[in-house]
């Protein structure tokens, strides 16, 4: 593993040469369509210095190497990937990405630096590396291969479930940290779990409608995978819980390696069954 430090050049150039690295081409193609990305990012990174970048890399790099080694050893894999650090508009803390078919894990420092003392970074690092490994082993689940409305929901649902639940299985950490990385407290996580269970029937109904109509319901999508209203945190990111429960079911009959490489046709049946019962 090596570190690809894009943040340093961003600070120096104020994002004037943003598209020179292939990471940004892939990132903007699949992950971020914000037309004001440069303006928003420049404003957010204004308080930070090259020293801040160096400090956070010295924290993230050994952690990433340790977690990658743990995953490889546990799953009998030999996957190498690089760590990309950059300044973004805070839409992503981090995720896995494929560039020319090769796996990377990225972290946006505008989201990470303010949360260094808040997040459980052992959990979030494992989560994001698992995304990268999952996409490497099973690229059909990568965002470039979400080919219709059903797949836009279901493939991301399983991907987040894998990263969420398998990180819990692999680490000696609390399940609530796998769900929320320490962003909310125990009581809030408990409230969130109750909300997920109480809303499951309604969410399943809306998923069926969206898939049958062939129209992506962006409100539903954000309810599952994002946060639109920070005053109602426990009513968002529901897909992380549903995905984790779906992966838990898969692991009752399969091992982790099998779940990482599961065929989408098999996964979609389990997803439909989960929401239908």
Q: In the structure encoding, which two tokens stand for residue 276, read together? A: 């239908």
Single pTM value for the model: 0.96
> Taking a C-beta distance cutoff of 8 angstroms, is the pair 176, 186 a contact?
yes
The three-state (H, E, C) secondary structure of 177-229, written as one string: HHHHCCCCCHHHHHHHHHHHHHHHHHHHHHHHHHHHHCCCCHHHHHHHHCCCC
Separation of alpha carbons 221 and 225, rounded Å? 6
pLDDT at 178 over 90: yes
Using DSSP, state whether 108 is helix, strand or coil: strand
For the stretch 59-90, what's the b/e string if a residue is b when 16 or more beta carbons lie within 10 angstroms of its beta carbon?
ebbebbeebbeebeeebeeeeebbbbbbbbbe
pLDDT value of position 128: 98
pLDDT at 198 over 90: yes
For the segment 84-104, what is each residue's pLDDT rounded down to a tens digit? 999 999 999 999 999 999 999
Specify which residues 3 forms β-bridges with: 83
What residues have CB less than 8 Å from 196, skipping those under 6 apart? Answer: 238, 241, 242
H helix or E strand, kind and range, residue 265: helix 264-276
Q: In the structure encoding, which two tokens stand for residue 128, read together? A: 């994001």
> Taking a C-beta distance cutoff of 8 angstroms, is the pair 130, 163 a contact?
yes
Q: For the chain, give the mean pLDDT.
A: 96
Counting Cβ atoms within 10 Å, is residue 28 exposed (0-12), middle (13-18) or buried (19+)? middle
pLDDT value of position 172: 85
């Amino acid at each position: 593993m090596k570190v690809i430090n894009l943040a340093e050049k961003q600070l120096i150039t104020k994002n004037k040469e943003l598209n020179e690295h292939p990471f940004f081409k892939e990132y903007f193609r699949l992950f971020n369509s914000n037309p004001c990305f440069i303006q928003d990012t420049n404003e957010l990174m204004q308080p930070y210095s090259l020293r801040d970048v160096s400090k956070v890399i010295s924290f993230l790099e050994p952690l990433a190497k340790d977690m990658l080694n743990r995953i490889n050893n546990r799953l009998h894999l030999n996957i190498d990937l690089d760590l990309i650090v950059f300044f973004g508009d805070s839409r992503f803390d981090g995720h896995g990405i494929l560039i020319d078919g090769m796996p990377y894990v990225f972290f946006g420092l505008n989201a990470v630096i303010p949360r260094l003392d808040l997040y459980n970074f052992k959990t979030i690092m494992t989560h994001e590396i698992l995304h990268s490994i999952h996409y490497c082993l099973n690229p059909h689940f990568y965002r470039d291969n979400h080919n219709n409305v059903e797949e836009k929901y279901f493939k991301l649902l399983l991907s987040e479930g894998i990263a969420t639940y398998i990180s819990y299985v692999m680490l000696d950490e609390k399940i609530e940290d796998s769900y929320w990385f320490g962003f909310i407290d125990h009581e809030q996580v408990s409230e969130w779990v109750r909300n997920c269970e109480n809303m499951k029937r309604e969410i399943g109904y809306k998923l069926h409608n969206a898939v049958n109509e062939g129209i992506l319901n962006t409100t539903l999508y954000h309810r599952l995978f994002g946060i639109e209203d920070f005053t109602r945190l426990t009513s968002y990111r529901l897909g992380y819980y549903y995905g984790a429960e779906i992966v838990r079911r898969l692991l009752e009959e399969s091992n982790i390696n099998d779940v990482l490489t599961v065929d989408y046709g098999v996964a979609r049946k389990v997803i439909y069954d989960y929401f239908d019962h």
